[in-house]
Structure 1
Amino acid sequence: MIVLVFVALVFLAHFYLWHRLVRSTTGPGRLRKALTWGLVGLVLLVVATFVSTRAEFANWLAWPGYIWFALMFYLIIFLVVLEIPRAVAGLLLRRSERRRAPAPVAVPARASAPAETVRAGASVPAEVAPEAVRAGAPAPAEVAPEAPAVPAAPEAAHSMSRRLFLGRTTAAIAGVGAMGAVGYGVTSALGDPVIESVKVGLPKLDPRLNGLRFAVVSDIHLGPLTGKAHTERIVRMINGLEADVVAIVGDLVDGSVAQLGPLAQPLKNLESRYGAYFVTGNHEYFAPNGFTEWIEELGELGVRSLRNERVEIRHQGAVLDLAGVNDLNGTSGGDGPDFGKALGNRDTSRSTVLLAHQPIQVTEAARHGVDLQLSGHTHGGQLAPFNLVVGLQQPVVSGLATVDGVQVYVTRGAGFWGPPVRVGAPPEITMLQLSR
């Protein structure tokens, strides 16, 4: 059902693009047919790309498919925004053409020849035939033939010219805007993540824990468009922060260990004083062979998975509870979040930091007295203005906020999903420091 809805949306998006980029910019003929079939091919490309993301041949299909998907997205955004200016421009052009159009010339009715003959010396109307003139009367002046009226240009021709002008101008603006946005977004997505430094005050934090540092990263999304260098760069940047704790908040992979295991190997080089911890995201449950193989793989790489459990972080003689819950997507397979198991029977006088992939899980965290929740999932919207849509489903899109009395920090993630494009939401690794 989800696949059918997706295909329908892709078809509708391309139909709109055809209407604005093909039908409105060309006349009937070979060019229109060629562009139409080109869009049909792009529809098939997008569907094939998303369906085959975990197939072996996805590597070569993903690049053109995802790049076109991003271009399609921004073409629609720009075209929709231009609909009102386009309509106003069309109205102004029509009014201008009406003002410039010449007024129709009235042609006088031809007078009939008089019944009686013309008297001698009388002037002879031009309409009177020569034979009607009496002998001795002066000959009538020679009449110049009437010039034929020049017909005005047909309204259909004006309409076609106006339509093509507006259509081509709108298409050019949208095309330049979309290519600029996607070009910038590719550079952002494939570049170094931004290091965000954040200080979070926890009212009941033991003073001895002041300055405890968390390197927070999420949504690395190892997949067909990322290489081993992507992971190596993230590990190198995290190690440069010299954090006390590394928290990987879900969506590490988009595939199986057999496909992506080599890309994850650099994680064994993560450095921190008290270890690296991981919680599942929704994409771990999409792995072809299940999520459990990744839990085992990460264990071998020295990254501990917190599966509805907590550990004690002992720092300078004080203790912080670090808990982790499974992602909501694990619920259907019997591996969903269990806050009671992760947070029950603990010393509530101690501060608790919770790792939970989706920000929306904070509602349940508040019921269990959590002080701070670290999440990802949203990518900060990844493709602005998609962040506005994400905000309808999650209580926090990015950054630090307070929800139901619990502070929540949502990282934008260090990778990307789908198109290798980030607009308005650069990739992020967070250095989060606790204070009282």
Structure 2
Amino acid sequence: MTIVVVAAGALGVLGLLGVAHWYLWRRLVRDVSSPGSRYRRTGTALLVLLPVLMLLAAIGGRAFPLAVERWFAWPGYLWMAVSIYLLLALLAGEALRPLLLRLPFRRRSSSPLATEPEPAAVPAPAAAPAAVEKDIGSGGESSRRLFVSRVVAGGAAAVAVGVVGNGAYGVLRGPRLKHVTVPLAKLPRAAHGYRIAVVSDIHLGPILGKAHTRRIVDTINAVQPDLITVVGDLVDGTVPELGPAARPLADLRAKDGAYFVTGNHEYFSGAAPWVEFVRELGVHPLENDRVELAWFDLAGVNDIAGTAQGQGPDYAKALDARDRSRASVLMAHQPVTIHDSVRHGVDLQLSGHTHGGQLWPGNYLAELANPTVAGLERYGDTQLYVTRGAGAWGPPVRVGAPSDITVVTLASLQA
């Protein structure tokens, strides 16, 4: 039964992709070119090849080694993003198309001899003028439609390329710092101003590699935080493939050290080897565990994706034996676990996972699956902070959800 459902889902996705790319071909190729032209042949070939590369990129890590995956990850994922905004722009263009068709339009002759005197007209049968007038009108309407189709297609292409180009630049330049102050009732006065660097969703893989990690490490070290928390989804691949890309994490520096919890993508890649690898780098994994720092308890739970492997979150193990009079900060990759944190009296949960939606209007979909998509919110006596993450999954592009590393400054109510 499961195989049937998966197969039906896969066929449904392929069907939607087919319809979407047929629409793109119609508006970007067929409607703006003549049959047999070089543009039509090239455009048709691209709109067959690019979705194939997109599908290969989407399944790449599960079917190909990283060295092979890199060849189609760039074009495939970039086309994924471009196609989304092409579709949105073209659909918006459908509303403009009738208005553009009503605008005054003067057909210009393409003949350089159009302004020369015409030879004397030869008398024609009585019905000829009406026929000629009909042909001219038909030609004018055809030219008008061609012109409007080219304007809409060109405008949609410019918008899509511009949006994706800007979004890719934002990811590849590295995340920006974001500062948030969080008051905690149980935090002692001496800890007022304590700073935690929160980084999540780095997503090292076929596109983002060692240079990306280095940018993140340098950005964090530059602010000299008291504590560093790496809240899951570090990688999309195995330790042999991506270990060198993650190695700059060994240079993270903070007074109270750096800590790590798993995200769902670690379980796609082999969580246990990655936990041991980050430990070797000097980043301390918290697997349903906690550590007592000077001013508060720091706890961490495994991601819920580990449940199928018997490695899911265990709040009781991580939190039940602690001193409830001390403030507690919990690292949990997915915001949906917030209700467990409330039940266990956590003061502050640090999460990622959502990417803030990553590609607008994906934030609206993310809101359906997560209690908080980005930022700070309160649930009972527990506060939840969700970072948009420092990398990107799939397309190396962010639109309306810039990547960030957040410096959370804890404030004591006694200060």
TM-score, normalised to structure 1, is 0.82
Structure 2 stretches lacking a partner, 5+ long: 1-5, 106-122
Question: What does the per-residue CA deviation read over 1:257-287, in whole Å, with 9 as the maximum and x for residues that have no partner?
Answer: 0000111111111111111111111110111
Q: What's the offset of the Cα at 1:196?
A: 0.8
The higher radius of gyration belongs to 1
Partner of residue 104, structure 1 = none
User: What is the alpha-carbon distance in structure 2 between the residues aligned to residue 352 and residue 4 of structure 1?
Assistant: 47
Query: Does structure 2 retain, via aligned residues, the 8 Å contact 1:79–1:174?
Result: yes
Q: What's the offset of the Cα at 1:350?
A: 1.6
Answer yes or no: is 1:355 the counterpart of 2:335: no
User: What is the alpha-carbon distance in structure 2 between the residues aligned to residue 230 and residue 275 of structure 1?
Assistant: 21
Answer yes or no: is 1:71 the counterpart of 2:75: no
Partner of residue 46, structure 2 = 38
Answer yes or no: is 1:377 the counterpart of 2:388: no
User: What is the alpha-carbon distance in structure 1 between the residues aligned to residue 141 and residue 157 of structure 2?
Assistant: 24
Partner of residue 172, structure 1 = 154
Answer yes or no: is 1:26 the counterpart of 2:26: no
User: What is the alpha-carbon distance in structure 2 between the residues aligned to residue 216 and residue 230 of structure 1?
Assistant: 16
1:12 to 19, 37, 41: 19
Q: What's the offset of the Cα at 1:339?
A: 1.6
1:188 to 156, 170, 175: 170
Query: Does structure 1 retain, via aligned residues, the 8 Å contact 2:174–2:212?
Result: no
Query: Does structure 2 retain, via aligned residues, the 8 Å contact 1:189–1:421?
Result: yes
* Count of residue correspondences: 381
1:413 to 389, 392, 404: 389
Question: What does the per-residue CA deviation read over 1:167-206, in whole Å, with 9 as the maximum and x for residues that have no partner?
Answer: 2111011001011111111211111321111110112222
Query: Does structure 1 retain, via aligned residues, the 8 Å contact 2:389–2:405?
Result: yes
Supply the AA of the counterpart residue of 1:426: P
Supply the AA of the counterpart residue of 1:298: V
Aligned residue runs from structure 1 range 38-117, under 5 A: 38-53=46-61, 55=65, 56-90=67-101, 92=102
Higher helix share: 2
Question: What does the per-residue CA deviation read over 1:293-331, in whole Å, with 9 as the maximum and x for residues that have no partner?
Answer: 0011011111111111111111xxxx4111111112112
Supply the AA of the counterpart residue of 2:14: V
Partner of residue 128, structure 1 = none
Query: Does structure 2 retain, via aligned residues, the 8 Å contact 1:198–1:431?
Result: yes
Q: What's the offset of the Cα at 1:156?
A: 5.4
Secondary structure of the 1:24 match is helix
Summarize the Cα distance change of 1:5–1:327 in structure 2 as closer, same or farther, 3 Å threshold.
Answer: farther
Supply the AA of the counterpart residue of 1:388: Y
Answer yes or no: is 1:387 the counterpart of 2:363: yes
Partner of residue 273, structure 2 = 293
Give the aligned CA root-mean-square deviation in angstroms.
2.2
Supply the AA of the counterpart residue of 1:308: N
Partner of residue 123, structure 1 = none
